[in-house]
Structure 1
Amino acid sequence: MDEEQRRAYWLANTALIRNLLIIWALASSVFSILLVQPLNTIRFFGLPFGFWMAQQGSILIFVGLIFTYAFQMDKLDRKYNKK
């Protein structure tokens, strides 16, 4: 792999990490802490949505982000012939 491909690979890798971290920050900080009171007016599975996000939703989102990262990195590795 030449230098240009290596650079493109790492730019794509860091962009993916940045985007997933932004989603994680929104889920764990904004929706679970900062907006918990307004979200509590919504019922979800019989619970206030803000409470559910703080207790279960942010964990499920985090696990989903792990699988998304693994899937996207596999695609990226195949694109740039990494093993």
Structure 2
Amino acid sequence: MITLALLTALGQEHELAMHVAAALRNGVTREQIQEVLLHCAVYAGVPAANRAFAVAQQVFDGLDAPSTGSTVPAVPVADQEGKG
């Protein structure tokens, strides 16, 4: 959960998606992830937390969708552009 907070504060959305999925696999609940991100709004700023909530929701949606065989939800192409 500390990793989620740090990645949120640093604006590392691509890495955050991977770690949200890993946290869920390791038994962290969606509600716990949301609480971490809400806490980040106070210390890292609302814009950073809003982006993190959007990333987490994409991961949740990817896990709720019918399986495509991938264990890690894909990051939309639009989010990958311009990131190195």
* TM-score range for the pair, normalised by the shorter chain length: 0.3 to 0.5
TM-score (norm 1): 0.33
Q: Per residue, is there more strand in 1 or in 2?
A: 1
TM-score (norm 2): 0.33
Q: Per residue, is there more helix in 1 or in 2?
A: 1
